[in-house]
Every structure is written in structure tokens, then in C-alpha cells.
Amino acid sequence: MTTYYVDPAASGSNDGSSWTDAWTDFQSAATNAVAGDTVYMRGSQTPSAAITFANPGDLTSGLIKYIGVNSSGVNDGTRFELDGGSTLSAVISQDGKNYLWFENIEVYGATGYGWTGTADNSHCVYINVCCNNNGGAGFNTDKVKKCVFILCTAYSNSSRGFGASSGNNNSFFYCVARDNSLTGFAISSAEPILIGCISYNNAQRGIEGLGDYGIAYNCVIEANGDHSDEGGIESSFGGVSVRSIIGCRITNHSTTGEFGIDANSTLLLHGWNYFEDNDTNITSATYAFEIKPNGISTDQADQADTNEGYVDNTAPGIDLNLASGSTMGPGDRTAIQLNWS
């Protein structure tokens, strides 16, 4: 379990053994580090080819950790920068190397994907990793499975922010996808989890392909979509297994025809979701669990209702649409009601 160092400005022996003798390129670290090693990196680099990794971590010796630090070598969230220089088709190509830990890294300037891979990667951790201004998706998570993204950001990419078609069982905590030319989170996979994430001002959809048993909890899906049949959360990937939308703000409004949620399956709405200014709040759901105040069954909604699931229930004085002027008294309670349609 060795500690190594990367500093493109170092002028020592280039063996990675100290800041003075640090490797001057990330590729040297990616080639030499083995399970249990930690690599600290500072500064910025314009690599001549996509960074590839020679070795995986493992559960016996530990993950291989690549951590960006500030100019003093302190981990304060400062990112190590990798610039594709508008010449590389990808900046990082993580091909089939499992149990890797990436922290405080920024990737930009690729003509294609910023961060990609051609073989399955699993059990990896990404913390404060940012992919922006790439010609393809920021993160191509197609081959990423059973991985965790924490405080990661993907913005101003010419495709998706987080883009995938088959990566499964990935979790996203407090991640942001904004201002991408297509979808913010494209996670057409089974059992994804998004907690506290923001998908804002993406040209297509906020979240696309929320798959079987997927969960979106306390997320903000705002101002996505620039024409019909786009908008908030599209959860049509997979079969008819339940998808849970819990305590989310879903407000996507630019053009007629945009939706809040487009689902082809069982939809569980719970936790005071906020729907506003969507042309259709929920469409295509086969059936749904809906919150009702104190068990009141009046003013029920079905999938044909443009204000699906959260309508004004004036009798108990509660506005479940949670728009301006919403009230909920201390004695009010909620009950879950199954609405078959």
C-alpha cells in the first residue's frame, strides 16, 4: 500500500515518490498503481492520449485511490484538471478496471465522451468528479455497474450529462446535471437510485430511463425539455416493476407537450412531490400509489388528468399541489391510497 504523487509542474526524478519527484502525468500513476495504493494529484494536464488504467483494486488490499488536492497537497475539494484540448475523443477510458476510487477530478475538452469505457466497470466510487464542455456525454456510464457517484457534476456537454443504456445498480447522491444538449441523467438501467440530485435546463429530459425499482428521492427536475414529448422524468425503461418518486420538485415548462413524469409501469408517488407548469404532470402510468389527505377519496386523479396525482382538496384545507399558498396544519395527516385505472 504505497502513496504516490502526480504534479505536471514537478522537476525531480519523475518516479512518483514525493511531490518533488512526482510523476508529471496521470498516465504514469494509472499504469503503476496497484490495489491499496493512493495517488495524490495537483495542478492540471493536457494529456496526449486518453488515460487508461492497468490494474484494478480489490477487496483484500483495497481500492486504488486517485485524489485531487490543492497546491499545498491538502484535500480541500480542489480538482485535478484534465484537458482534452479539443483533440482527444475521450479524456479518460476506464476499461474493465473495478474497485477504483476517483475524487476531485475535472475532465473537459474532449471531442467525444469526457469519461468513458468499453468494458464493464463495477464497484467504483466517484466523488466530486466533474465532466464539462465535452463533444459527447460527460460521463458515458454505459459500462458502469454497481458504482456510486457523490457530488459529481456534468454540465454543458454536447450530448448527455450522465449517459448510459445498460449500466445497472448505480447510485447518485447530490449530483448535478445541467445545461447539457440532450438529457441530464440518462440511466436506462435497473435499480438506479438518485438522492438529492438536480437536473436543470437540459435540452431533452431531466431523467431518462428510470428503470425497474428505480428511486428518485428529494430531487429537483427543473426547466428541462425544449419541445414536445420531453421534460421531467421518463421512466419507460424495463418492464412493469415499481418506480418510486419521493419528495421531488418536478417543474419543467418551456413548450406545449412537455411532461412531468412519463411512466409505463407501476408508479409510487410519495413524500409531497411538487408538480407545477408541466403540460401533463403524469402520463402513461398503468396505476399509481397516491397521497390523499386524511383518507379523503374525493378529487381522485387518473393518468388522463393533466394535474395527475396532486390536486387541490379544499375540503380539509390542504393543497396537495404544493403551489403558492399551500397550507398544511399540524393536525393534518396523510394516507396512502391505491388508484387503479
At 51-94, the pLDDT tens digits run 999 999 999 999 999 999 999 999 999 999 999 999 999 999 98
Q: Cα separation of 293 and 296, whole Å?
A: 6
Average pLDDT, the chain: 80
Q: Is the pLDDT of residue 155 over 90?
A: yes
The pLDDT, as a whole number, for residue 167 is: 59
Local structure of residue 246 (DSSP, 8 states): E
Q: Cα separation of 31 and 106, whole Å?
A: 19
- 107: buried, middle or exposed (CB in 10 Å: 19+, 13-18, 0-12)? buried
Q: Cα separation of 277 and 293, whole Å?
A: 23
User: Which residues make Cβ contacts (< 8 Å) with residue 86, sequence separation at least 6?
Assistant: 109, 111
- Phi-psi domain of 291 (left: phi exceeds 0; alpha: psi -120 through 50; beta: other): beta
Q: Is the pLDDT of residue 307 over 70?
A: no
Local structure of residue 123 (DSSP, 8 states): S
- Under the banding of pLDDT at 50, 70 and 90, the label for residue 295 is very low
The pLDDT, as a whole number, for residue 145 is: 77
**Domain edges within the chain:** 35-340
The CATH code of the domain at 35-340 is 2.160.20
Counting Cα atoms < 13 Å in the Cβ hemisphere of 173 gives 8
The residue-averaged pLDDT of 129-137 equals: 94
Which of 184, 108, 199, 189 shows the shortest CA–CA distance to 143?
A: 189
Asked if residue 213 lies in contact with residue 243, where contact means CB atoms within 8 angstroms, the answer is yes
Q: Cα separation of 252 and 47, whole Å?
A: 39
DSSP string for 302-320: -TT-TTTT--EETTTTEET
Query: Cell 421531488, residue?
Result: 248
The pLDDT, as a whole number, for residue 142 is: 72
In the chain, helix, strand, coil percent, each to 5?
Answer: 5, 40, 60
- At 230, list the grid cell: 420531453
- Under the banding of pLDDT at 50, 70 and 90, the label for residue 256 is low
In this structure, the strands spanning 162-164 and 274-275 are unpaired
Asked if residue 109 lies in contact with residue 134, where contact means CB atoms within 8 angstroms, the answer is yes
- Under the banding of pLDDT at 50, 70 and 90, the label for residue 165 is low
Neighbours of 11 (CB within 10 A): 10
In this structure, the strands spanning 312-313 and 318-319 are antiparallel
The pLDDT, as a whole number, for residue 225 is: 82
The residue-averaged pLDDT of 107-117 equals: 92
Q: Is the pLDDT of residue 315 over 50?
A: no
